[in-house]
Each structure stands twice: as structure tokens, then as C-alpha cells.
Amino acid sequence: MVLKTSSSEAAELGRRLLVELDRLGIEPVLDRASAAALDLDDGLDRSELTAAADLVVVLGGDGTLLSVTSGTIGGTPILGINLGTLGFLTEHPADQLFPMLVAAVEGRATLERRERLEVAVSTPGKAASVHTVLNDVVINKSALARIVVLSMRVDGQFVSRFKADGLIVATPTGSTAYNLSAGGPIIHPTVGVIVVTPICPHTLTNRPIALGIDSVIDIQLESQSEEVFLTLDGQKGFPLTTRNLVRVRRSPDPVFLITEPSRSYFQVLHRKLKWGERGG
């Protein structure tokens, strides 16, 4: 179990979940921060939960769920309960927690595969650092920095040299995150593509491009700047220099989200993006 630790609602629901798990004879496993929020002593590192559990229940928002999906998943399903604001990933309301939990325990839950991206950042003479994201990889400049120049190759072939505020490489799951704000397309989560969206491009013909899911994307900073950063799922980031090569490819370890079969993705879009609603 993982909680949004700043939420009293998540803590209260977490206590109720512990009681229900005890009733069902299921041993709970929590990360350290969630355990502390519930006044418990034991806990694992959050990235280790999926390896230690048969099911991960997330009580919070999309950010809380993303904090779980940076490590090894190994097929462990994730049930996201929305106690945040938008909630594309944690799509289930709090009153659905216990029915969805029982369905998962009884093997009746519907799982939806979500592709992740593997991000390798290499520097000459050093071992590459490798990360995994569910939503997106973002390269962007600071507020005061000038436009940056980023070159991109796909499967070894030169694609373009982007002059922009930055670049977003997103999964279909991440298409409704920063990609959407930057004018990128909404992609159904089961479609096998990677979308690359420039952020405020200097050349207006630099538009978002959808690539095959098995594409290997190499991005390199060409402009000299000390204020360019790589951000992974909005959870962690670090500065980039012209000596770094960022390689993005499909991860062999996807995420499996528990979904409600009677609720379509388009219903989620209608509810979250308020499509079709009349103005006041």
C-alpha cells in the first residue's frame, strides 16, 4: 500500500484498508513514508514494493502512482484510488476501493497493459545511468535560459534539429500529461506509439510526431547552456550538458493497471477533461 502522505483522507482510507486486509487474511506491505503516516514502524523503499507484493494499492493522485512505477514492476498489478485532483492513472473513486480489491483478490480484476520507456543517459568515460518512466521524459530549459537546440535521431537516422524551449518524449499513458499542455495529441493508452512533442518550437513546422513503439530515440543538446534539465515523470531530474546522450526506448517491463471494464477510456476523458459540458 502506498499513500499520499500529505492527505488526511488517504491516511484514514489506509487505516480502513488495513482492517479489511486483516479480515481477508492478507498481509499488508507498506513503503516507509506510508507506514510512518499510519504510525507503523515497518516499511520498504517505495521502489521495492512491486517486487515484494502481489498487488499494489495506491491511495492518492497520479503523482503518488508515478512514484511507484519507476522501479521494477515484474507484472505486479496496480490499483489506483484517486484522492488527488485530475486522476488519469488513479481513475477509481474512493468508494470503489473495496469492491475493486475483492475483485483483484478473487482474480476477477481487469488489467490494462501500459508501456513504459527506458531512459539511458550516457557521458563519455562513464557508465550510463538508466531510468524508467510511465508518462514522459522531458528536456527543457529554465525560465531565464535562451532557446535550446536539441538534435534527434530515430533508429540511427537523423530526424531534426529542434530550436525550442524543450522536448517531450511521451508514452500513450503520458499523452494526457505535459504532452497535452504542449499541444501534443491524446493517444489511446493501448496504441503502440511513442510521441515526441517540441515545447514552444522556434520553427512552427516542428510539430509533434508519433513513432513506432520499438523506436530507439537519441537526443543530444547542441547549444551551450548550464540551465537545461532532464525530468523523468515529473518525479526526479538532473541537468544536461552537450556531453550527454539521452537514449529513449521501450521498456521490457510494462505496468499493469487495474481498470473498471464498464468504464471506457473515453468516459474517463469526458469526466477528467469535461468534454461536452456546456459553459456556465
pLDDT of residue 194: 98
Question: At 188, which amino acid appears?
Answer: H
How many CB atoms sit inside 10 A of residue 52's CB? 12
Q: Look at residue 85 in the predicted model and tell me its pLDDT.
A: 67
Residue-level length of the chain = 280
- To the query of whether residue 218 is one of the catalytic residues in this protein, the response is no
Shared fold status for 2-114+254-273 and 117-250: no
Q: Does domain 117-250 have CATH number 2.60.200.30?
A: yes
Domain spans, the chain: 2-114+254-273, 117-250
* Predicted pLDDT at 279: 55
Question: Tell me, which fold does domain 2-114+254-273 have in CATH?
Answer: Rossmann fold (3.40.50)
Residue 56 in contact with residue 50, Cβ under 8 Å? Answer: yes
Q: Per the structure block, which three cell numbers stand in for 46?
A: 517505495
Percent of the chain with pLDDT over 90: 76
| DSSP states of 191-205 | S-EEEEEEES-SSTT
**Is the pTM for the entire model greater than 0.85?**
yes
At residue 39, what is the residue type?
Answer: D
Question: What pLDDT, on the 0 to 100 scale, is given for residue 48?
Answer: 86
Q: What does the pLDDT read at residue 30? A: 95
Q: What is the DSSP letter of 117?
A: E
Over residues 160-180, the mean pLDDT reads 95
What are the helix and strand counts (H, E) for the chain?
Answer: 7, 17
pLDDT tens track for 52-90: 999 999 999 999 999 999 989 999 999 999 986 667 888
Residues with Cβ within 8 Å of residue 32, at least 6 apart in sequence: 43, 44, 45, 46
Mapping DSSP onto H, E and C, the string for 120-166 reads: EEECCCCCCEEEEECCEEEEEECCCCCCEEEEEEECCEEEEEEEECE
pLDDT one-digit tens code per residue, 217-259: 999 999 987 689 999 999 999 999 999 999 999 999 999 999 9
The region that residue 234 occupies, defined by phi over 0 for left and psi between -120 and 50 for alpha, beta otherwise, is left
Q: Tell me the one-letter amino acid at 183.
A: G
Beta strands in the chain (DSSP E): 2-3, 56-60, 77-82, 110-114, 117-122, 129-133, 136-141, 148-154, 157-164, 166-170, 193-199, 209-212, 217-221, 228-232, 236-239, 245-250, 255-259
HSE at residue 204, side-chain half, CA atoms within 13 A, is: 0
Better pLDDT: 14 or 268 = 14
- Cα separations in angstroms, 279 against 1, 10, 64, 116, 276: 39, 32, 32, 37, 9
First to last CA, the chain: 40
Residue 84: the pLDDT is: 67
Please write the tens of the pLDDT for every residue from 127-155.
999 999 999 999 998 877 788 999 999 99
Instruction: List the grid coordinates of 268.
Output: 474517463
The Cα angle at residue 78 between residues 73 and 79, in degrees rounded to 5: 175
Cell of 219: 537526443
- Cβ neighbour number for residue 3 with a 10 Å cutoff: 26
Q: Is 232 exposed, middle or buried (0-12, 13-18, 19+ CB in 10 A)?
A: buried
pLDDT band at 280 (very low <50, low <70, confident <90, very high): very low
Please tell me which residue in 31, 62, 136, 233 is annotated as part of the active site.
62
